[in-house]
Amino acid sequence: MGFAKAARMRFAAVAMLLLASLALAADGDAARGRKLAYTCMGCHGIENYKNAYPKYSVPRLGGQGAAYIVAALAEYQAGARSHPTMRGQATTLSAQDRADVAAFFQGPQRAAPGARPVGALPAAAAACTACHGQDGVGTLPGNPTLAGQHADYLAQALNDYRLGKRQNPVMGSFAAQLTRDDINALAGYFAKQPGLSTPRL
Ligand code: HEC
Ligand code: HEC
């Protein structure tokens, strides 16, 4: 595929995501979300809790953008993300429930960036910063914040996009270009930045 065509496809995909995240930006009720989040906290509320087979850390949701959380839950529900437990969890939630739990997990504001990035930006990150920031904070609410996320989870997610276990047109094409070393360097760098936290009820 030619570069111009790939760039046009990427542009179209980004435009679609922007529209989708605007449509999803309806305000959630964080107080109601706190009650709904009770079952979620059995995994997401425990620092360093691990997924089994394969073993990797359960993602941090505290300070993550609400628009992104809503989109991620919709993707588990639709099967675009194949994780069986999260599919099961997501199918129990209505659109209003998703907006409410997302408002609770994000909190009053998305995670704030650090004063300056920690450590040297890996070369491969040049392709990522327009959307995820040099500091790892999503440049738009629909772009996930990677700062402070567990490194092993970030690496798992990138491999899943690469292998098509997570279907996302934008991330699929970016992840396809990464080597194993790139993935480890990027995951390590973004995990070191101040940002996301383990939520508390
Ligand atoms: C049994 C443990 C468990 C429970 C309970 C659970 N989750 Fe998860 N959650 C996970 C794991 C593991 C992942 C990572 C899945 C993957 O690799 O895609 C995840 C991923 C997510 C993500 C995607 C995060 C990201 O950065 O993309 C969101 C959002 C989420 N969970 C929300 C919830 C909500 C809301 C609930 C409650 C309704 C819930 N989870 C209940 C284990 C759990
Ligand atoms: C055009 C904007 C854009 C670019 C460039 C981009 N991303 Fe993403 N990224 C996104 C969006 C949007 C998502 C959410 C996709 C979804 O819903 O699964 C995402 C998801 C991710 C996730 C999963 C986060 C989570 O919490 O599960 C990781 C990790 C990630 N990107 C890393 C990268 C890396 C590393 C690069 C550079 C090689 C990159 N991204 C380039 C927009 C982008």
Instruction: Reply yes or no on whether the pLDDT at 4 is more than 60.
Output: no
**Average confidence score pLDDT of the chain:** 91
Instruction: Reply yes or no on whether the pLDDT at 14 is more than 90.
Output: no
Residue with the smallest CA separation from ligand 2 atom 16 is 168
Rounded average pLDDT over 125-146: 97
C-alpha–C-alpha distance, residues 20 and 106, integer Å: 18
Instruction: Name the pLDDT band for 3 (thresholds 50, 70, 90).
Output: low
Between the alpha carbon of residue 21 and those of residues 37, 105, 109, the distances in Å are 22, 17, 17
Q: Give the atom of ligand 2 at the shortest distance from the alpha carbon of 81.
A: 18
C-alpha–C-alpha distance, residues 125 and 194, integer Å: 17
Instruction: Reply yes or no on whether the pLDDT at 6 is more than 70.
Output: no
Residue 140 has what pLDDT? 96
**Percentage of the residues of the chain whose pLDDT score is greater than 90:** 86
Residue 27 has what pLDDT? 85
Residue with the smallest CA separation from ligand 2 atom 39 is 128
Q: Which is higher by pLDDT, 3 or 142? A: 142
How far does residue 91's CA lie from ligand 1's centre (Å)?
Answer: 12
Instruction: Reply yes or no on whether the pLDDT at 37 is more than 90.
Output: yes
58 is written with which tokens?
């359960």
pLDDT in tens, 186-196: 999 999 999 99
Residue 10 has what pLDDT? 54
Task: Give the burial string for 137-175 (b: 16+ CB within 10 Å, else e).
Answer: bbeebbbbbbbbbbbbbbbbbbbbbbeeebebebbbebb
Is residue 159 within 6 Å of ligand 2 at its C-beta? no
Rounded average pLDDT over 61-73: 98
pLDDT in tens, 94-123: 999 999 999 999 999 999 999 999 999 999
pLDDT in tens, 169-183: 999 999 999 999 999
Lowest mean pLDDT segment, chosen from 19-33, 82-96, 135-149: 19-33
How far does residue 146's CA lie from ligand 2's centre (Å)?
Answer: 8
pLDDT in tens, 147-158: 999 999 999 999
Residue 35 has what pLDDT? 97
Lowest mean pLDDT segment, chosen from 8-22, 63-77, 96-110: 8-22
Which ligand neighbours the alpha carbon of 131 most closely? 2
Is residue 110 within 6 Å of ligand 1 at its C-beta? no
What residues contact residue 22 under an 8 Å CB cut-off, 6+ apart? none
